[in-house]
């Protein structure tokens, strides 16, 4: 995934050209050289990402959203697709080094000769990126894949660009013709934060760039186009992404929402896989469950009011009445807290005990996804915004005790692992936890 490139005198990834030149030399070697297949396997399976991390600092990669998909994740995404045949046209508007196009090419048939295969693939595989090094690398890697599958040293009269004229340097969202041709859109868009577009009706302020990119791509796609996308988990399960999910459901029929896990070891963010089909906006959107909302007979929200703590320590001034103050570093886990070592002046919302405080920081793999503490006592408590507050509707300590007991179960872990895989819990995810009182 690569983000929009500001005008600059020097490419931020110019040092990557040496690796692309190495691939181009490999493309010209005989496939009969003893280790040729081994080196091609490496070039097609993760080496491109490793080399980028070696020559480009993480700050640069984050700035431009340059995190390549990788073989396993790309294959999983393409495996979610449907309707691939000789008439399929794939478009990746942020193609990087072509990982998703390579995954799609593995599904395409070979022609009788290598040049015929490349010409056919050139009709079906289209992509854009703002960095020339990546475009040249993507074309070269596709030629390497075709040569490896054909097992031939057949000489090629055409250039890589000649075989793949529609894999080119360009702003992906401005390619109307490529959107019109595409039967399948492949997306691994940038994950950074950007200001929402001025005409955006589904969000305001700063938003995840991936959210804006998906909506923009859907608005440009023709009816019936299938989109396969790798997206940050917060878009699937975050409370603040609800309006984005509604907008996507207006534009497309959502057919598959599949949690995946960590993107890779260089981009420590959880992602999910999305498959949908562009619909006519005049059609009534069919309801789709972006998260698994199945539960037993009742949920936490039936018995508790769920909120995020209201104290933002580095923003809120210490004004107003002084209250006992809790934050994740001072709250013991799986117990009842009656004594408060810290206090703070706070003129905003405070919470009267008893209530349950749950740490927001949470990730798959933690022993407990919803680590809890019962807050007791006689004085209202100021709560930091890294804690979620569950106030019993019946006001009883026994309800808090039962909630904490149930939170410390594998059933809750399993529910939250399916519901939300980003690094913090949301009010919506906690409120939806199955619970019986």
Measuring CA to CA, which residue among 321, 231, 324 is closest to residue 270? Answer: 231
Alpha helices in 90-175 (DSSP H): 99-105, 114-124, 132-150, 160-163
Give per-residue pLDDT as tens, 120-146: 999 999 999 999 999 999 999 999 999
Which secondary-structure segment (H or E) carries 127? Answer: strand 125-129
Mind spelling out the 3-state secondary structure of 382-399?
EEECCEEEEEECCCCHHH
From the first residue on, what is the mean pLDDT of each consecutive set of 10 residues in the chain (437 residues)? 53 94 94 93 94 92 88 92 92 96 96 96 97 97 96 89 96 96 96 85 86 95 96 84 90 90 78 92 67 64 93 93 96 96 95 97 88 96 97 95 95 87 85 89
Q: For residue 348, which of 299, 381, 387 has the smallest C-alpha distance?
A: 381
| pLDDT (0 to 100) of residue 178 | 97
The H or E element that residue 375 is part of is: strand 372-375
**Residues whose CB falls within 8 Å of the CB of residue 201, separated by 6 or more in sequence, listed in order:** 247
Output the pLDDT for position 292: 57
* Cα 378–chain centre separation: 44
d(CA 127, CA 166): 6
Using alpha carbons, select from 211, 220, 2 the residue that is nearest to residue 94.
Answer: 2
Q: What is the pLDDT of residue 286?
A: 63
Residues of the chain with CATH 3.90.220.20: 300-431
* pLDDT value, residue 8: 45
CA distance 51 to 16: 8
Give the C-alpha separation, 271 to 269, whole Å.
Answer: 6
Cα angle, residue 150 at apex, residues 144 and 152 outer, rounded to 5°: 85
Alpha carbon distance 84, 108 (integer Å): 8
Comparing CA positions, the residue from 393, 1, 14 lying closest to residue 403 is: 393
Looking at domain 300-431, its CATH class is alpha beta
What's the DSSP call for residue 327?
A: -
Location of each CATH 3.40.50.150 domain in the chain: 14-278
> Distance between CA 331 and CA 359 in Å, rounded?
9
pLDDT value of position 173: 94
**C-alpha–C-alpha distance, residues 174 and 94, integer Å:** 12
CATH of domain 14-278: 3.40.50.150
Give the Å distances, CA to CA, from 343 to 317, 347, 382, 424: 14, 13, 8, 25
- Name, in order, each residue with C-beta under 8 angstroms of 367's C-beta and a sequence gap of 6 or more: none
């Amino acid at each position: 995934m690569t983000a929009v490139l500001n005008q600059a005198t020097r490419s931020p990834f110019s040092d990557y050209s040496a690796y692309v030149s190495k691939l181009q030399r490999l493309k010209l070697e005989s496939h009969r050289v003893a280790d040729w297949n081994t080196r091609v396997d490496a070039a097609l399976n993760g080496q491109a990402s490793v080399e980028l991390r070696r020559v480009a600092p993480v700050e640069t990669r984050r700035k431009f959203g340059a995190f390549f998909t990788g073989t396993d994740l790309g294959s999983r995404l393409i495996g979610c697709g449907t309707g691939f045949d000789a008439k399929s046209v794939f478009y990746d508007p942020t193609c990087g080094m072509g990982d998703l196009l390579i995954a799609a090419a593995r599904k395409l048939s070979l022609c009788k000769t290598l040049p015929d295969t490349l010409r056919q693939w050139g009709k079906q595989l289209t992509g854009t990126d703002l960095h020339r090094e990546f475009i040249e690398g993507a074309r070269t890697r596709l030629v390497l894949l075709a040569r490896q599958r054909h097992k031939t040293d057949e000489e090629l009269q055409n250039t890589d660009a000649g075989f793949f004229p529609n894999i080119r340097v360009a702003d992906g969202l401005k390619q109307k013709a490529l959107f019109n041709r595409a039967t399948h859109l492949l997306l691994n868009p940038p994950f950074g934060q950007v200001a929402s577009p001025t005409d955006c009706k589904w969000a305001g302020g700063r938003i995840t760039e991936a959210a804006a990119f998906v909506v923009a791509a859907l608005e440009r796609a023709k009816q019936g186009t299938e989109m396969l996308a790798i997206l940050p988990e917060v878009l699937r399960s975050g409370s603040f992404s609800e309006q984005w999910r509604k907008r996507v459901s207006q534009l497309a029929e959502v057919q598959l929402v599949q949690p995946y896990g960590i993107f890779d070891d260089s981009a420590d963010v959880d992602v999910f896989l999305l498959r949908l089909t562009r619909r006519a906006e005049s059609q009534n959107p069919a309801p789709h469950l972006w998260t698994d909302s199945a539960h037993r007979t009742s949920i936490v929200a039936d018995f508790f009011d769920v909120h995020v703590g209201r104290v933002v320590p580095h923003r809120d001034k210490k004004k107003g009445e002084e209250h006992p103050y809790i934050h994740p570093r001072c709250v013991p886990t799986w117990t009842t807290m009656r004594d408060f070592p810290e206090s703070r002046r706070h003129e905003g919302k405070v919470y009267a005990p008893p209530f349950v405080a749950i740490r927001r920081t949470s990730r798959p793999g933690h022993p407990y996804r919803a680590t809890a503490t019962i807050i007791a006592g006689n004085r209202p408590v100021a709560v930091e915004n890294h804690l979620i507050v569950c106030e019993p509707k019946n006001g009883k300590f026994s309800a808090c005790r039962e909630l904490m007991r149930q939170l410390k179960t594998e059933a809750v872990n399993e529910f939250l692992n399916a519901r939300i895989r980003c690094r913090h819990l949301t009010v919506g995810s906690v409120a939806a936890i199955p619970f019986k009182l």
